[in-house]
A = this chain, B = another copy of it.
């Protein structure tokens, strides 16, 4: 694509992003700075349309970018805007300000800020816990047949789990169990813990210490299925304000997908694996419900390790040049906020 075509495409998309109306040759002639007549622009537009960067809703409307058009725009034409000082300050104040926030609060705040600043929907996945160290494990008698498992991880993370058992345990017994397990596991990551658990299982079943066997059994129940992917979303309802999403059926499908979470999680997982900022435009995501949406995502790190992603979801026609730095910086600040508390 020659330079003139690029300028024209950029002008058109800029304009279309700004006010959402199909853009005509006349407007581009005026705004591109190219000093060409509308007629010449029309020739170029025709080319761009034939190459699949543009399309016209109907004969006598202006033109509108296709997904392919947005793609080259995002990849090479767009001039990233610096983040407004006011918003930067807001992000810093709320995320890494002096208040001590729980992990959950940090994530909620991040998604709320993302959606608030962009006026679209903001998502933040929960940090993957696989690599967090186990700091303490404790079992408490709850009732006849129930034992409460308390798992404490690095970084303020505490989890409870009620385990059903087939005989009753005294507090003293459980204390012993806890001690035994703590001596075994403390400081290890979940993956390691699981390994030694398997190991112990073999060993204990051989030399038959009843208490130890109980301990191992309880621990495996308490630790099974821990790392469920999940996310926090805010500002869904912002999406209702965009006229391109005003079809109530599509909107409903979208909201349902947000609640069902499965598809969204798969998409966000892709972004996580990529280890770097990602943009999915329209159908690129591969999920029907997101056909009219774009997703701008960035991974966030704790201790240099990518542990999650955050993203902004909005209509394909979004101000990418503004959203990209917002997502980027929020990811960084979220990382430091989590480091802080860990």
Task: Give me the interface of A with B, judged by CB distance under 8 Å.
Answer: 100, 102, 135-136, 138, 140-143, 146, 148, 150, 152, 156, 158, 160-162, 164, 175, 234, 236-237, 240-241, 246, 248, 251-252, 255-256, 259, 341-342
Contact = CB atoms under 8 A, between A and B. Distances in A.
A140 B160 contact: no
Given A148-B152, A160-B160, A162-B102, A251 B240 contact: yes
B100 A162 contact: yes
Residue among A135, A161, A236, A246 with the highest chain B CB neighbour number at 10 A: A236
A142 B148 contact: no
Contacts of A143: 342
A240 B234 CA distance: 19
A341 B162 contact: yes
B237 A241 contact: no
A100 B164 contact: yes
A34 to B, nearest CB: 39
Contact of A158 (B136, B148, B259): B148
B248 A236 contact: no
Contacts of A236: 255, 259
A185 to B, nearest CB: 15
A240 B256 CA distance: 11
A237 B148 CA distance: 36
A100 B146 CA distance: 10
A156 B150 contact: no
Nearest to A236: B255
A150 B142 contact: no
Contact of A255 (B141, B156, B240): B240
A195 B236 CA distance: 43
A318 to B, nearest CB: 18
Contact of A150 (B140, B164, B246): B140
11 contacts: A136-B140, A136-B142, A148-B152, A148-B158, A158-B162, A162-B341, A236-B255, A236-B259, A237-B256, A240-B255, A248-B248
A211 B152 CA distance: 25
Contacts of A135: 142
Nearest to A249: B240
A152 B140 contact: yes
A136 B174 CA distance: 15
A265 B252 CA distance: 25
Contacts of A252: 237, 240-241
Contacts of A152: 140, 142, 148
A96 to B, nearest CB: 15
A150 B136 CA distance: 13
Nearest to A235: B259
A289 B78 CA distance: 41
Contacts of A241: 252
Contact of A248 (B156, B234, B246, B259): B246
A158 B160 contact: yes
Nearest to A241: B252
